[in-house]
Structure 1
């Protein structure tokens, strides 16, 4: 008996462990199953499941009505257009795609060339139409720049505000006279003198 006792203890421990494991396994699975069933019931209740446990299809319940706040936001965002229409921007900027080259003639010789980049400030609604009238506007502005050059406007310190302010005003009047579109201002973006 004393010889068998050391051999029986590990066997008994193994059998006891297996038996304990078998006893605890159904309880754990049942607990998880119960938890899953509880969460499943909550999910079914939230998702509109039928009493028999089958989930309702999309056709079983009506589609949600459109959100009123989105419609209201569209009405407010539309401004004067209303119903979600986007109002035209109040301002638009039309920059001539190519620069203006103004020769400075003295005694029949071209001593230098003025190079300018001009932009017209207009209404946002007039911007597409102004692009269509680019050539007419360019002709009117170039004519005014040539008059300015021939009267000595680009002589001396031509970058001083005392020289540029009257030039901007004359360019604006020339642009307004050549089109019926809104011309709020003519901006001189770049100006330089290059030796001829």
Structure 2
């Protein structure tokens, strides 16, 4: 089972589309302002955005240390395992606080992930945008209960489902 998980995880991490998803997730307003500064000469809003050097000036991204492994149970047996890597977008300077409460945060995230799995969220087309949006919203609520409003969003950086056959 460990070999299957390691192989599935390695295959998922090494595929090119996963790298394309990461920059798209980071293109929030500050990053687009930096692109606007390069493309548009008017300096009323472009100069301050250029001085901020993109998203790094106002937010930080904190990758949680370990992956989350979620069993999908069907007919009283584990039908598949879902493996996720999560990161948090937080206000500048909040990284240490995230790591200080990581055990509590992981517990809250696991509860959300188990509830999502039990509701059928990881069956079928589990990567559908509406499914992932619901999951992100629930994870964000859990993160804010633990860390407060400094959490801006929860990013699903990797997700893979390994079906047991």
Structure 1 length normalisation: TM-score? 0.53
8 Å CA contact 1:89–1:123 kept in 2: the answer is: no
Q: Deviations over 1:44-65 (max 9, x none)?
A: xxxxxxxxxxxxxxxxxxxxxx
Q: Which runs of 5+ in 1 are unaligned?
A: 1-87
Return structure 1 stretches of 4+ with deviation > 4 angstroms: none
Return the offset for 1:179.
2.4
* Aligned counterpart in structure 2 of residue 132 of structure 1, from 100, 106, 109: 100
The structure where strand makes up a greater share of residues is 2
* Aligned counterpart in structure 2 of residue 152 of structure 1, from 112, 120, 139: 120
- Aligned equivalents of 2:130, 2:69: Cα separation in 1: 22
1:121 corresponds to which residue? 89
Q: Indicate whether 1:176 and 2:136 are aligned.
A: no
Structure 2 length normalisation: TM-score? 0.63
1:29-44 matched pairs, under 5 angstroms = none
Aligned length: 109
Q: Indicate whether 1:106 and 2:64 are aligned.
A: no
Q: Which runs of 5+ in 2 are unaligned?
A: 1-55
- Aligned equivalents of 1:121, 1:129: Cα separation in 2: 13
Question: Secondary structure of 1:147's match?
Answer: helix
Question: Secondary structure of 1:125's match?
Answer: coil
* Aligned counterpart in structure 2 of residue 91 of structure 1, from 37, 54, 59: 59
- Aligned equivalents of 2:138, 2:60: Cα separation in 1: 20
